Amino acid sequence: MKNNEQLSNENKHNQNVNSKIYDCAVFGGGVVGTAVLNKLTRLGKKAILLEIGEDVCTGMSKANSAIAHAGFDAQPETLKAKLNVKGKLILDTLCQELSVPYTQVGAVVAGNDMKKLEILKEQGIKNGVPDLEIIEGDRLHKLVPNLKREIKYALYAPTSCIVNVFMLTIALAEEAVINGADFRFSYDTKSIKFEDDIFTISDNNEKICAKHIINSTGWGYNNIAKLLGVEEYPLSYRRGEYYVLDREVGDYVGLTVFPLPTHLGKGILATPTTDGNVLFGPTSENCSSLDPIITPAGLKRIKDSICSMFIKPPFNKAIREYAGIRVGSGNDFIIEKSKINPKVINLCGINSPGLTAAPAIAEMVCDLLNFKGDEIEIIRRKPYGFIQDKNSKQLEEMIKENPKFGNILCKCEMVSEAEILNAIHSPLKPHTLDSIKRRVRPTAGHCQGGFCMLKVARLISNELNIPLQKVIKETSKSYIFDNDNESGTQSNKDLKQS
């Protein structure tokens, strides 16, 4: 029960800013932030997600290897080790509940240093990873037919999985919103005031009140910590570059293949994806800029590393290169209730295996806030349906019901007008080209949007009543049209950059 003083303070804040008071404001719409939002909502808490980007999964989370790690890599007794293994178990169930693509493909760490492989195995056993074993010879090369024959041994972790990180992050947020959570995109926080046990958050346009704050902003952790007046931490940044291969060579590797790890991380790997592509990467370069640039030197490092492990890797089938920036702080996650203001939860340095650990991190956050009790009965989100997964009879019925399922706008990925419209009108109100791509994959195929980008942009423009010249690819500055051109014709320069 709330006492009279608490009720008086809440009423005062409601009158001052004409706003409800949330139990929690979650800063950061990556996989960890949305996992926290989802868990809070399942526990019946009123929460709001504040994200500076135009959608969820636009920062660190969008550029990783999309692997649900088995958990043998992290040092025993660290948060990374404990939450990796616990998070993996939760993720197995969570992805099924959320209808998120998730496949147990297994993983191997391949190399000829038996001592290092034994150390990794023992480390994994201490962490609680099941079914680890060292394999060799014919068994190894049957698992990885394209592995070079001079590589004789590997640690095999059959419980390693691949996951669609975009759909996971979207699904976590969508389910929360359907069940009562709120969100703000493009929310650039300018001030946070703490008075009478209530935080008042402002972006100079809107004030939002909350009783607790969870800072899960990744790159921007210290920016929010400074506004809150709580603990700041030294951050380090590493750039990782990747190659994406066409679905045409999706069977080149059937499971995740790591080299022996180094002090820089797990190394340059090869892995299938849930969408049928193959990833080669990432590099790991210290950097000071948050610009995810792609460099000739980085791409060469990927080629050299992959070529040292595999037979004739099909780099000629690469359809895209991309990069992401990972942030760290020391050698472990920082997950804590602030000592300066215990109504703030600090989540800092959440890099790999942050994706796998995310559901367990969310549970830990709720424990730190002493949010207990049974989960409420929730409304399940309606998963996106994909025509490419349907047989001819099912597709015929879908088209009969809605002819727009028969209008294919993205031929590389076989995406219909109806699927794009469903995405545009989904719970998080996506409005950028990349936000639609993350949901139903137009522009993700072989031509990378060369034939369908304009068609998708027109649909966004028409459905959301946005001038075509104002439709953006990803960020507020990534216009695909030359806005100085009154006719709205495409700028060759802008198209190349997008």
Which listed residue (13, 69, 212, 431) is catalytic? Answer: 69
Tokens representing residue 283 in the block: 């590099």
CA–CA separation, 245 vs 318, rounded Å?
Answer: 4
CA–CA separation, 26 vs 50, rounded Å?
Answer: 6
- In Å, how far are 27, 107, 139, 294 from 147, measured between CA atoms? 43, 13, 12, 27
Active site residue 212: no
The owner of tokens 């209730």 is 337
- Which value, in Å, is the radius of gyration of the alpha carbons in the chain? 23
CA–CA separation, 229 vs 426, rounded Å?
Answer: 37
User: In 9-30, which positions are buried (b, 16+ CB within 10 angstroms) versus exposed (e)?
Assistant: bbeebeeebebebbbbbbbbbb
- In Å, how far are 86, 158, 255, 325 from 135, measured between CA atoms? 26, 12, 15, 34
CA–CA separation, 477 vs 465, rounded Å?
Answer: 19
Answer for the pair 441, 389: CB distance below 8 angstroms, yes or no: no
DSSP-assigned letters across all residues of 110-163? EES-HHHHHHHHHHHHHHT--S-EEEEHHHHHHHSTTB-TT--EEEEETT-EEE
Number of alpha carbons in the 13 Å side-chain half-sphere of residue 159: 21
List residues with catalytic annotation.
69
